Amino acid sequence: MNKEINIQELGLKDFKETWEYQEELFKMILDLKIKNRREETLHPTPNYFLFVEHPHVYTLGKSGDISNLLLSEKQLQEKEATFYKINRGGDITYHGPGQIVGYPILDLDNFFTDIHKYLRLLEEMVILTLAEYNIKGVRSDGETGVWLDAGTPFARKICALGVRASRWVTMHGFAFNVNADLGYFDHIIPCGINDKAVTSLQVELGVEKVDVNQVKEKLLKHFTTLFEAECKHELKS
């Protein structure tokens, strides 16, 4: 089993371009798995973890409701935002500058074949990272992602999750609000949940700006431990 993770920093990159790149990696791993099975070979399948920030964009998952987008096409243009229906689970969410978006493209046959466990470990990675900032992140019953004060009138979401998997290969991932402009969430019903707020690490810490690279380092540290993986950084323009 190949537990090496190729970490790629994509910087600020258009959502559609990144989605297409994810699909390339996803298909490459799937094709290799199919070839291994057909030819009874054991070529190791690679694993990737993409870090990226997107220009303002709203994405709607397969089970999502378009009515959770509260903007017209003209208003989207005015907000300099784009919109895509995509092939992950979940409802609608927002991505934008100041948000850490992580796309683990893993062959779970290299780790464990359990999507529920996979999602819980991604949540745990964020919860452990928040703990390093003395913030208590928690899960909310029946809802994916990481929350603060779940189960109270002050519940607010700080990290959203939405993934796709086929033959135990994953794509899409998580969006962690670090320095994000939370005003963009006012134009959707985030994840189809209309009675809870969103927040960011910046807001919770009450600081002007959080060091994003430091947060990424903490996320990767916990990811590596939780998945018993070894991370290798690659340069990707």
Tens-place pLDDT, residues 205-220 = 999 999 999 999 999 9
Whether residue 157 contacts residue 199, with contact meaning beta carbons closer than 8 Å, is answered with yes
β-strand partners of 100: 176
CATH class of 54-101+112-227: alpha beta
pLDDT recorded at residue 90:
77
Mean pLDDT of the chain: 93
Which tens digits make up the pLDDT trace of 93-127? 899 999 999 999 999 999 999 999 999 999 999 99
Span between the terminal Cα atoms of the chain, in Å: 29
The one catalytic residue in 119, 191, 201, 210 is 191
- 63-67, 179-183, 211-215, range with the lowest pLDDT: 63-67
CA distance 35 to 84: 32
Average pLDDT over residues 121-149: 96
Let me know if 13 is exposed, middle or buried by CB neighbors in 10 A (0-12, 13-18, 19+): middle
**Whole-number pLDDT of residue 235:** 54
At 190 the pLDDT is 61
pLDDT band at 237 (very low <50, low <70, confident <90, very high): very low
Residues contributing to the annotated binding site for substrate: 88-95, 160-162, 173-175
pLDDT band at 236 (very low <50, low <70, confident <90, very high): low
Per-residue pLDDT band at 192 (split at 50, 70, 90):
low
pTM listed for this prediction: 0.93
The answer to whether residue 231 is catalytic is: no
Taking 50 as the threshold, does the pLDDT of residue 15 lie above it? yes
pLDDT at 131 over 60: yes
